[in-house]
Amino acid sequence: MARASRRKMFKFGAAAAGGALVAASTRVASAAVPAAPAGPLDDAWGHSLGAGVDDRPYGQPSKYEKDAIRRYVPWLAQSPQADASFTPLQDQPGIITANGYFFERYHAGRISVDPAKWELMIMGLVKTPLLLKLEDLKRFPSVSRIHFLECPANGATEWPAAQLNSIQYTHGLIACAEWTGVKLSTLLNEVGVKPEGKWLLAEGGDGSHLTRSIPLEKAMDDCIVAWGQNGEALRPEQGYPVRLIVPGWQGNQMVKWLRRLEIGTSPWYTHEETASYTELLPNGTALGFTWVAEAKSVISFPCPEKPLTGGPGFYEVRGFAWTGRGKIKAVDVSFDGGVNYTRAALQEPVLDKCMTRFTIPWHWDGKPAMIQSRAIDETGYVQPTIVEARAVMGTAAVYLNNAIQTWNVLADGSVNNVQLG
């Protein structure tokens, strides 16, 4: 197109800004015709020069996405440094959680580790102890795997009753990322675990120096000593420069700011696996070593934060399912509070110990509806109702809530978190 005619288009666009609407394609095809009115292609962003490559050396989301952020519950913990923030699942389109969305759980705040000073000690019942610097660790053969990471307290507020009217707060202690690092088995083979070595202790370098015991079979199976997260270095929130990934197991076992691995004969029964992260049952005894995250799912659209805004008609119901026991086999969705279920479509990829996306079409008739999703994993395990889960765990439980979530869709399209009995 000649320069003169392009200038004409600019002038035309400004002049016609208040004009009647016709199809944008018509206007583009006959740009020289002055009668053509403004349309959606002539908004302000199309009349001006955008920012250059020198503007944002590290990218950031659109300013219009300012509400898609982590949030925390102010009354949940004693201090923001010993608290959790929640992933905005309502804003997560696919199975990968954006690094800025990824929920936080701190026991002594987010620290800033100098990678030049970072070291990993591997010791205990090994033939040759090893001290690695970050550049040493990165020389070992590496893998990249996509795995979810869930806090066992995800859904804790919902044990007594439906309390928080928000998917972010009821389900946001989960996230999913591609992790890159060295398989733990590679490092353990390098140091040579002695025959009597049956357990691994992983220790963090933050002020909590958090420790968890992991049986050697799991350590040698699929654990990763990770430095990469979704296309960049591990975020400080996730343990920069190195964290442990223990696929499918409790989030707190995936020790952040990892600084030490020790091999021993038996578990250490640390604070984080006795005083914390154990479940006190109604009979007064406690469950420990509940490592695996059981199958769970939730509908992320619609949800309390994302109501139905277009009136009756077609919607795609969307959500996430995951299991620490392998792959998700199926997800069923109910629109009538669990009386009848319809099988949803699983969206690829369906990966091991990974968030899996499901969708199901819905022609909403505008009437109130109780919508639920129910995950089934490859072991055949079926996600329970809250009534079933509570029969075992009681109403004062904190951890291990993997119950089916009910969203109550009202006639005006708004959505509330309810529990059915």
Partner 1 sequence: MFSSAKLFASAAFGTVALGTLAVSAVAVAAPVPAAEPLGYYAIGMTPDAAQIAQWSIAIKPDGSNLPPGSGTVDAGATVYGAECAMCHGTFGEGVDAYPKLVGGVGALKTQKLKTVGSYWPYAPIVYDYINRAMPFYAPRSLSNDQVYAITAYILNLNGIVPDNFVADAKSLAAVKMPNRDGFNFKDPRPLTHDVACMAHCADPKALTVTSDASKSGITPRTTGPVDTMQGTPTK
For position 99 contacting partner 1 by CB under 8 A, the verdict is: no
Name the CA radius of gyration of the chain, rounded: 26
Instruction: At 191, list the tokens.
Output: 């140091």
Of the candidates 6, 11, 47, 139, which one interacts with partner 1 according to CB under 8 A?
Answer: 139
| One of 269, 313, 345, 411 touching partner 1 (CB under 8 A) | 269
| Minimum distance of partner 1 from residue 119's CB (angstroms) | 9
**Is the distance from CB of 16 to CB of 42 less than 8 angstroms?**
yes
The reply to whether 143 sits near partner 1 by the rule CB under 8 A is: no
Strands 199-204 and 232-233: unpaired
Q: Which of 97, 154, 168, 252 binds partner 1 (CB under 8 A)?
A: 168
Taking CA atoms, 94 is separated from 295, 356, 390, in Å, by 18, 9, 31
Single out the residue of 340, 365, 366, 411 in contact with partner 1 (rule: CB under 8 A). 340
Q: Is residue 110 at the binding interface for partner 1, with CB under 8 A as the rule?
A: no
Q: Rounded distance, CA 105 to CA 102, Å?
A: 10
Residue number, 31 or 341, with CB nearest to partner 1? 341
Residue with the two structure tokens 């020069």? 49
Cα–Cα distance for residue pair 308/311, rounded to 1 Å: 7
Using CB under 8 A as the binding rule, whether residue 130 contacts partner 1 is answered as: yes
Buried b (16+ CB within 10 A) or exposed e, 95-106: bbbbbebbbbbb
339 binds partner 1 (CB under 8 A): yes
Question: Where does this chain touch partner 1 (CB under 8 A) — which range of 5-13, 16-24, 63-71, 348-356?
Answer: 63-71
Q: What is the smallest separation between the CB atom of 342 and partner 1, expressed in angstroms?
A: 8
CA 23 – CA 87 distance, rounded (Å): 40
Exposure on the CB side of residue 101, measured as CA atoms within 13 A: 24
Instruction: Tell whether residue 15 is a contact of partner 1 (CB under 8 A).
Output: no
Nearer to partner 1, 34 or 282 (CB): 282
Instruction: Report how far residue 36's alpha carbon sits from residue 27's, in angstroms, rounded to the nearest whole number.
Output: 6
Q: Does 133 sit near partner 1 (CB under 8 A)?
A: yes
Question: Does residue 121 contact residue 259 with C-beta atoms inside 8 Å?
Answer: yes
Among 60, 62, 79, 112, binds partner 1 (CB under 8 A): 79
161 binds partner 1 (CB under 8 A): yes
CB 197 within 8 A of CB 263: yes
Residues 193-212 within binding reach of partner 1 (CB under 8 A): 201, 203, 207-211
d(CA 29, CA 47): 18
Q: Nearest approach, Cβ of 252 to partner 1 (angstroms)?
A: 13
418 lines the binding site for partner 1 (CB under 8 A): yes
Beta strands 174-183 and 143-150, pairing class: antiparallel
Q: How many chain residues interact with partner 1 (CB under 8 A)?
A: 109
**Cβ(278)–Cβ(398) under 8 Å?**
no
Binding to partner 1 (CB under 8 A): which residues in 240-259?
Answer: 259
Q: Is the dihedral of CA 170, 176, 181, 183 positive or negative?
A: positive
Least distance (Å) between residue 235 CB and partner 1? 19
Pair 164, 158: CB distance under 8 Å: yes
Considering the complex, what minimum distance in angstroms separates the CB of residue 264 from partner 1?
Answer: 8
Shortest Å distance, C-beta 186 to partner 1: 6
User: Is residue 178 a contact point for partner 1 (CB under 8 A)?
Assistant: no
Nearest to 220 by CA among 188, 194, 243, 174: 188
How far apart are CB 309 and partner 1 at their closest, in Å? 15
Q: Which is nearer to partner 1, 88 or 228 (CB)?
A: 88
Considering only residues 31, 81, 346, 378, which one is a binding residue for partner 1 as defined by CB under 8 A?
81
- 216-235 positions binding partner 1, by CB under 8 A: none
